[in-house]
Chains A and B, each alone.
Chain A
């Protein structure tokens, strides 16, 4: 198969959320000896970008997007194994992300984490129901460039404010970017508590972070 055909097929399998097919394709592609990074950037990413557009237009729905982004993660892992070590290690920025303590909603946060990985960020996903102190400890431990928090409830939004303060108190705040999201939050809220930015969706998050780190 021509390289271009691989790219088209990779994109299409992602659009179809066909995990088995994309996995098989990635393996064949590596056997051919082509550049793994190119498949991520021109094939898989193109597929997920198309899906994002379809999702925003209301033509596909969340289950489709979840399965497609998992398929993408699987394929990226396979391709990464074939990358030179310095390429794998070359990440745009280190991101700590999690859902605020008391909040178990993690679907949206999970999609954000997956997409950031896909776009070349090193992501430390702390999961859901994460105590403020854990965000701070992790950020310190790994020297995070970005700390992102998700809150889906009016009760847990206040934790994002507490996180801003905790990062300040730990002396970390000036050296990193904070971002937040989740259904309960708004741009207004992010501005009010002094976060660097709010993102409406995973796509929006990638766009805003890429503007800062590239």
Chain B
């Protein structure tokens, strides 16, 4: 009998965050009673990241981020300690201090880190920060409390817009530098990105599109003083937040002959990690932001979904499959991506993936009212829906996406615009 068909009694989860904890909870709920080790390079118990760019920065009373954890999980934590290497032959995770943790199932849930500013000297300046961890967020919250004269964000994604929104709430002047012509377009397409740009400007954000930083200026003590832009413009600031995306934490897998690349760790629909040979690597699974997996809702095209909901669901699926006696008993990961963001007083929700979408239409409410639901189509089928302060209809559209309903779906009825205008998405939402 191969090691993978006997019931496991040593499971090591690397990455003590959302996906890892979700897997740990599922393992126990499914009756797993063996050793369960959770390795995390951060010193904290698993915590939640979405509040880091929202409530924590606003210093909302009671912005508790530690994830709730049932008392009886019986987890052996190795916190503040990175996994340095994976020994597939001996089936062991080797920690930075040399400790070997043997496993018969291992879950890779190491997520991503903030992509650093490409110029290391500039990235090291006092006043240049990124936002991924609780420590990052607390430091930034402290900076905001000192009321900087201007905060600058570079990057046109959700984190950038959320932080800008908090700055405006705190009445701190803020600039957002976006290299593309439209912000957020990668996630929600140009029409919705354009809408959010208007909203941000209306809230007093100095939003600069098609802008990039040529170089940074520092004072003699190595503190950021100003940014010089490619167009020659200059912005004085001592607080820059770099929010230019995420990079997968896979360096520790080097040498393990796994199928890794910049998109993360490849896995199959059962969350089994693949080896460099393209075959499932014995006993190794992946979940969360680090996983690169075939999406059944998009003809098995490979995706890496960097959303909260996926990390929870994929952790759960991977855990079930780690306990399965064989592939026949495994369940496929078929989570339909979903995501939310809060900014400028609006709640934005998205279901499905907009990548490759070729058409867009507002089917409930209107952009003018700032309350609407829009759908995304790809080759005549509905692939995603986004709501702005109208989440109530989202479940219906979610069902339509799951059915691959013709685009545009669910027309007419309550809150319906007089006329539905379908816009063509250039560049397939990118």
Q: Do A and B come from one complex?
A: no
